[in-house]
Amino acid sequence: MSERFWEVMCSVIPLWGILFGLNVVLLVFVGLSLFLTSPEPGTSQIMVINVVLITGFLVTLGYTIRRCRSGEF
């Protein structure tokens, strides 16, 4: 089961690279908006949530790309 899962995941590795790049761009946008917006409580909370979600996606995508390129499945 696990080997078949990684075969399917690695068959679309270009998609994971595109999504990784998109998440990096989104993280840069959130970083810029930290300096360009007013420090209101609601705004800060939403930005922290965005950073947590984007970082989680980056870690997951990075692991998937690394695992597919190493062939350890």
Cβ pair 4, 56 in contact under 8 A? no
Overall number of domains in the chain: 1
**Domain assignment of residue 48, given as a range:** 2-70
Q: pLDDT digits over 11-43, tens only?
A: 999 999 999 999 999 999 999 998 888 878 888
25-34 contacts, C-beta under 8 A, 24 or more apart: 26/50, 26/54, 27/51, 27/54, 27/55, 27/58, 30/54
pLDDT of residue 21: 97
